[in-house]
Amino acid sequence: MIRLKSEFSRLIDTREEELLQILADLVRFPTVSPPARNTGEVQQYIQAFLEKENFETTSWDVFPGDPNVVGMKKGTGGSLYNSLIINGHIDVAEVGDEAEWTVSVFEMTNENGFAYGRGTSDMKGAIAATLFVVRLLNELNIELKGDLQIQTVIGEEAGEAGTLSCTEKGYSADFALVIDGSDREIHGQGGVITGWITIKSKEVFHDAMRMNMLHAGGTVKGASAIEKMMKVIAGLQDLERHWAVTKQYPGFVPGTNTINPAVIEGGRHAAFVADECRLWITVHFYPDETYQSVTDEIEEHLKHVAMADPWLRENPLQFCWGGKSMIEERGEIFPALKMDADHLAVQLLAECHEQVENKPVKIGMSKTVTDAGWFGEAGIPCVIYGPGKLEEAHSVDEKINIEELLTFTKTLMHFITNWCNVKK
């Protein structure tokens, strides 16, 4: 491994203001999602930045007004050397009531060693560091023998398919680094999928007919879809408890794999027996599971719940899982990422971290989800490693520690110059 050059570290420290200016530039773009469809201008800024540093760039609209940008710098050694993807999302979380903020939301504030503003931690700080490293590599004429690819994607905050769109278009590499906030720990992750469970009656009844229904001693085979959904929720609670004692995965506390009944909708009018009810659930699962296997398990379990109810047997449950957008489809998927801690790139990243920080890196599992799982789905080895603490993401007065950002920048530069110069 190439040793960290002390002049690189000193150079990053002496040009701190330049790094912070790039971050301030990014923060000024209010790329809040939802509502989204607002990343065009910041992506133009990033695309122009990469082109100035001799990257070949491509952009395309994933949704109107929300383009992805991919910048590619071809290595001098061609396909004989390791290639790398650096991936980060450019959208930021909702702001909420701006009156609760004590600093400007979209004008970065530098105070007491922290940079404040929406997106500083999640995750424009990491993107600013990446752009700054790209500039330094170009200025110093650092040779990279393997290809370096920078992806700034849309939609992560609302479960939209920015990174998926990159993999669908064939963008690939020998390793991918998702620079979402991990407090500079190396992470894999569990997965998340949302789904809708619908109960729909074959018949519609006036409220006055309720007294004649089976549960009241009558002969009319009718029921309230809302009341029947209570049986479904109880069934989901039973399954969640079962998972908590029968499933486990290193790095997660028992019961991390949850089934959350998040939203319920139903009924049409007080004068009718509810003929339809919809339940929106969020399911967390472990890295050794897939969203397909988990949803199959839920459907199988609820099928048995329904079979025990005469009315549900004749009015079967309907399922709709996932989607490419919480905004457009009210559904999302974040695949899990089963990290390989023994992969050469992961070991190299750990060495780079230790050289910069003079202490071993922590390797574990993220408490949240990122786009990293899409690389795993595409067969691209990947980990999450970035600056910023989880508690800062989506918070009022969001901030990032400037020293942490500088440290991450040094590690990133060190890792790129090593990995992209390793022969396959």
The CATH number assigned to the domain holding 250 equals 3.30.70.360
- Find the catalytic residue in 53, 66, 91, 157: 91
Pull the structure tokens for residue 213.
Answer: 């229904």
For the question of residue 156 being annotated catalytic, the response is: yes
Given a cut of 50, the residues of the chain with pLDDT beneath it are none
Among residues 73, 69, 43, which one has the least CA distance to residue 55?
73
Same domain, residue pair 223 and 173: no
Same domain, residue pair 68 and 171: yes
Residue 116: inside a domain, yes or no?
yes
Same domain, residue pair 87 and 150: yes
Same domain, residue pair 267 and 395: no
- Predicted pLDDT of residue 176: 98
Round to whole Å and give the CA distance between 267 and 254.
37
- Predicted pLDDT of residue 214: 67
Number of other residues whose CB lies within 10 A of the CB of residue 423:
9
Same domain, residue pair 235 and 179: no
Same domain, residue pair 287 and 199: yes
Residue 330: inside a domain, yes or no?
no
Q: Which domain holds residue 198?
A: 191-321
**Domain end (from 321, 351, 370):** 321
Same domain, residue pair 282 and 386: no
* Cβ atoms of residues 350 and 363 within 8 Å: yes
Same domain, residue pair 158 and 284: no
For the question of residue 91 being annotated catalytic, the response is: yes
Chain centroid offset of residue 190 CA: 11
- Predicted pLDDT of residue 215: 65
Q: Give whole-number Cα distances, 99 to 96, 111, 132, 257, 309, in Å.
A: 9, 19, 33, 36, 51
What radius of gyration do the chain's Cα atoms show? 25
Among residues 21, 22, 183, 28, which one has the least CA distance to residue 118?
28
Among residues 18, 178, 13, 182, which one has the least CA distance to residue 87?
178
Same domain, residue pair 55 and 140: yes
* Cβ atoms of residues 84 and 362 within 8 Å: no
Where do runs of H (alpha helix) occur along 140-270?
Answer: 162-168, 225-246
- Predicted pLDDT of residue 222: 85
Round to whole Å and give the CA distance between 214 and 201.
15
CA atoms within 13 A on the CB side of 130: 29
Number of other residues whose CB lies within 10 A of the CB of residue 98:
11
Same domain, residue pair 253 and 308: yes
Please give the tally of structural domains in the chain: 2
Beta strands of 64-211 (E only): which ranges? 66-73, 84-89, 109-111, 114-116, 148-153, 175-178, 186-188, 191-200
Q: Output the domain CATH number for residue 106.
A: 3.40.630.10
Chain mean pLDDT for the chain: 96
- Find the catalytic residue in 53, 66, 147, 156: 156
Chain centroid offset of residue 248 CA: 22
Same domain, residue pair 90 and 209: no
